[in-house]
Amino acid sequence: MQIRLFNQTDWPGTWAVVEPVLRAGETYPLPPDISESEAYHAWVTVPVATFVALDSSNRILGSYYIKPNQPALGAHVCNCGYVVATEARGKGLGTALCRHSQQQAVALGFRSMQYNLVVATNTAAIRAWRGNGFTEVGVLPGAFRHPTHGYVDALVMYKQLPTPD
């Protein structure tokens, strides 16, 4: 598997991975009926960088973006969003993307990483983020409207990153 910077020709394969996740409405607060152009804006245009994970046939199996969590005086803390294709789940790709994003965050000058809305029912992500050294710094009761479970809690997860020498 290779993780590399997104390029424009990657969008169709990235959209094929991102779209089902957004449509499911189980992990991202974006509207499930989001248009492709709005999703592109959120996943590619707004972030500082977007990356894709490719298999040996150059098929996109996952993607993540990295962006400042807040503007100006909070811009040293980054935020990331991750997706893994259904057929690639449970094989460590989310963990690999998280590790890669931490390396990129340090290279981009970020000092820490914060996930603002980790849906409590997303146990695979919570396990991966904990395994990558993130801790829960808060619980937002009923902060996410899950399509099946109704209002569920969301976690705020945080990790201090190593500073470059």
pLDDT digits over 71-121, tens only? 999 999 999 999 999 999 989 999 999 999 999 999 999 999 999 999 999
Rg of the chain over Cα atoms, rounded to whole angstroms, equals 15
Is residue 30 in some structural domain? Answer: yes
Amino acid sitting at position 32: P
Is residue 41 in some structural domain? Answer: yes
pLDDT of 63 > 90? The answer is: yes
CATH code of the domain covering residue 41: 3.40.630.30
Is residue 165 in some structural domain? Answer: no
pLDDT of 129 > 70? The answer is: yes
Per the structure, the count of domains in the chain is: 1
Q: Note the pTM of the prediction, 2 decimals.
A: 0.95
DSSP state of 118: E
Average pLDDT, the chain: 96
User: What are the residues whose beta carbons fall under 8 Å from the beta carbon of 52, sequence distance 6 or more?
Assistant: 3, 4, 5, 6, 10, 13, 14, 60, 62, 63
pLDDT of 164 > 80? The answer is: no
Reduce the DSSP state of residue 141 to 3 states and report it.
strand
Instruction: Give the domain extent around 114.
Output: 2-160
**144 neighbors 112 (Cβ within 8 angstroms):** no
pLDDT of 25 > 70? The answer is: yes
